[in-house]
Amino acid sequence: MSRGRSELKASDGLNVLASLVTGRRSRWVLIVVWLVGAIALVPFSSKLTAVEQNSQSSFVPSGAPSTIVANIEGQFPSLNRLAAIVVLYRKSGVTSSDLAYARAAQARVQALGLAGETGVTTPALSPNHDGVLIEVSLGANTSATKVAADVSQLRASLAGHPAGLEVGVGGPAAILADTASAFAGIDGILLAATVLVVAVLLLLTYRSLFLWLFPLITVGLATLLGQAGVYLLARGGFVVNGMTIGILTVLMFGAGTDYSLLLVARYREELRSEPQPSRAMAIALERVAPTLAVSASTVILSLLVLLAAQERDIRALGPVGAIGIAAVLLGSLTLLPPLLLTFGRSAFWPLVPRVGQAPRARRVSWSRTAAWVAAHPGPLSGAGIGALALLCLGLLAYPPSLPQSKGFSGQVPSARAQTLISSSFPAGSTGPVVVATRNPALLPEAESLAAGVKGIAAVGQASVHRGAAVFQATLASAPDGTRAESVVAALRSTESRHFGNAVLVGGPTAVQIDLNQAASHDRLVVIPIVLLVVLVMLGLLLRSVLAPVLLTASVVLSFLAALGLSSLAVRSIFGFAGMDSSVALLGFVFLVALGVDYTVFLASRIRQEVTGDPQGGVEVALGATGGVITSAGMVLAATFTVLGVLPLVALTELGFLVAVGVLLDTFVVRSLVVPAVALLLGDRFWWPWAPSAPAKPGGARST
């Protein structure tokens, strides 16, 4: 339709939507419904933190060996515990006063009366007399919040130790407590940082005193809706952790702000040709709503593919993210338009769009950029693809998996305690290997095999209970490093060769191995399905076969380039000990799924404009969409970098990867490579159904 159209032609669904959001009374009803609904949902969203599961063992697939071993171990009252290891260390050797302090510390810990405490061992002196260990057993089924409180009391009770004696609390309980502390207040900190970043970027984008508020209000209320839905998911059995909630907040603000930018840009464009704001909004919805719906549907379907993942926290992130995207799409289509129409053109003050007014000049002229791309499509496409391919070489430096104790951005007490323990005791003391069988007759040989595995420092006494048998083995190395994983893998192989699945190996190191294996499975399964979803959705939208293939390939190339650059950054800039096993998969899903937003917006506009004039159509489309796509890309990238404010390496790595990928996709792929390739191929880009409608008289084009 041309700008001079006298009537709005839209589908029945769009007519209903337009009449609802633009009606004088109905738009107020929608605003009231959203406000009342948000108030009603606050109690649900506020309970979300209470249903978090942050223990690594809760992420492992239910059929994994370490999970089966944990279930067997849970049958033993004496073993069904979470250990907090109190360590005392003096490099020159512990003194008599140190030992006296250790005995007093044991008494103080017992006197604390911790709710989860099931036992406190007597102080154990290290072989070289430079360290002392006291093991405090906490209830294995105690909540992370309660464990954190218990560990905090433990640490406080150790005050007043002799000068020169180093004291710490480590072990699985301390790691879980430090993780819980890292997630404490995550909602408030992350939300405040995200809102601040988005507000600043919207102010810079709109240069309006009021306009930036409407997207924030929309996304804020939609976030309450999304969080309430996620709370119900968690109550239904999905494993939701602090990282999931943090990603949800960033995802909703990033995607929701993008949708708002696209709608507001088209609304402002129509206000320059339509005297009635309500009619301009109806036209904007007619042109943008289908694109947003397809884009959001693609993201939702891509996220739901995560239900095929084995890692339980990653599997839950699929429906969690899908709920978030659906909520912000609903808000963008049913709340943002009424809010904007309530203030009419004055919402844009002081840069109010008038009928017949030319678009204001921008610092970056996308019309000139489009003309430059049109003049040099070959060199620009070659240079862009070459640069991305060069960045892919960074994958050669892809770091190993991240040890759990190194998962914090700064030094945490549990990591320091592990260092002290490793200085005087076998480093594996804090996370023993657990070997379990339901056939006690196999115990003697299983113990003998374990003792013969290189890297096993000691094998403990076995326990038999109700037809099951368990014994523990102490590693010579720290339980969360690649060396420990090699030893446990060798132990598993040895036991398996002799007993098959009758003897299984678990414990903290085995949990990490099982998580790494699940992550490898998830990448092999999820990535191809996501690509298929994107291909099908783009094919349906663009009515083409070749264009979706090329566009999907461009997204994959930008992802690999971003992953290569992130690999270098993890090693050389951040200095992290490795890359979390979930980062690559989540980064892929977010970049491919969210990158579809810009792909759909640009490609659908090119499809509208190229009828009868492929080159001129690409120029018009890039000139019209370049500004809003880059603005949306910068907002999305900035929101994901906010994940770096949290003291967790995995979130910092994920935020960096997605931010870099979005910027590459926005400024290189969407702005240069895709238009250049479309220009080089012409109508062949849309094979086999190229646009064929003639150009309109006088050069008028669809918008």
CA distance 149 to 408: 19
Instruction: Place 441 in a pLDDT band, splitting at 50, 70 and 90.
Output: very high
185 vs 79, which has greater pLDDT? Answer: 79
87 vs 146, which has greater pLDDT? Answer: 87
Tally of CB atoms within 10 A around 204: 12
Residue intervals of the chain classified under CATH 1.20.1640.10 are: 1-46+185-360, 364-408+515-703
pLDDT at 265 over 90: no
Instruction: Place 700 in a pLDDT band, splitting at 50, 70 and 90.
Output: very low
Domain 364-408+515-703: top CATH class: mainly alpha
139 vs 26, which has greater pLDDT? Answer: 26
The mean pLDDT value of the chain amounts to 84
pLDDT at 694 over 90: no
CA distance 419 to 154: 18
What average pLDDT does the segment 190-218 reach? 84
Q: How many angstroms separate the first and last alpha carbons of the chain?
A: 7
As a CATH number, domain 426-513 is 3.30.70.120
The letter for the amino acid at 656 is: F
pLDDT value of position 185? 61
What average pLDDT does the segment 328-349 reach? 90
CA distance 391 to 690: 34
Beta bridge partners of 140: none
Q: The tokens of 70 are what?
A: 């944990």
DSSP output for 663-680? HHIIIIIIIIIHHHHHHH
E strand or H helix at 136: strand 131-139
CA distances (Å), origin 423, targets 88, 328, 490: 11, 52, 25
| Element counts in the chain: helices (H) and strands (E) | 23, 10
Name every residue whose Cβ is closer than 8 Å to that of residue 582 and which is 6 or more positions away in sequence.
311, 313, 314, 519, 650, 654
Instruction: Place 690 in a pLDDT band, splitting at 50, 70 and 90.
Output: low
pLDDT value of position 186? 63
Phi then psi dihedrals of residue 177, to 5 deg: -65, -45
Burial of 39 (0-12, 13-18, 19+ CB in 10 A): exposed
DSSP output for 494-512? HHHHHHGGGEEEESHHHHH
What average pLDDT does the segment 225-250 reach? 85
CA distance 343 to 277: 10
Phi then psi dihedrals of residue 130, to 5 deg: -110, 0
Antiparallel, parallel or unpaired: β 433-437 and 468-475: antiparallel
Phi then psi dihedrals of residue 452, to 5 deg: -85, -5
Convert 406-443 to b/e letters by CB count within 10 Å (16 or more is b). Answer: bbbbeebbbbbbbbbbbbbbbbbbbbbbbbbbeebebb
Is the separation of the CB atoms in 336 and 226 below 8 Å? no
Max mean pLDDT range (134-138, 235-239, 486-490)? 486-490
CA distance 158 to 135: 14
Crossing angle of helices 508-542/546-569, nearest 10°? 150
The letter for the amino acid at 426 is: P
pLDDT at 683 over 90: no
Residue intervals of the chain classified under CATH 3.30.70.120 are: 426-513
Name every residue whose Cβ is closer than 8 Å to that of residue 539 and which is 6 or more positions away in sequence.
545, 548
CA distance 328 to 636: 14
pLDDT at 4 over 70: no
Which residue has tokens 């909540």? 143
pLDDT at 12 over 80: no
E-only strand ranges, 438-586 = 456-459, 463-465, 468-475, 503-506
Which residue has tokens 């990591």? 415
The rounded percent of the chain whose pLDDT value lies above 70 is 92
Convert 577-614 to b/e letters by CB count within 10 Å (16 or more is b). Answer: bbbbbbbbbbbbbbbbbbbbbbbbbbbbbbbbbbbebb
Name every residue whose Cβ is closer than 8 Å to that of residue 146 and which is 6 or more positions away in sequence.
115, 116
- State which fold the 80-182 domain adopts: Alpha-Beta Plaits (3.30.70)
Cis amide prior to 688 (ω within 30 degrees): yes
Instruction: Place 319 in a pLDDT band, splitting at 50, 70 and 90.
Output: very high
As a CATH number, domain 1-46+185-360 is 1.20.1640.10
pLDDT by residue (tens digit) across 604-640?
777 777 666 666 777 777 777 777 788 888 888 888 8
Per DSSP, helices labelled H in 207-241 are 213-235
Phi then psi dihedrals of residue 201, to 5 deg: -65, -40
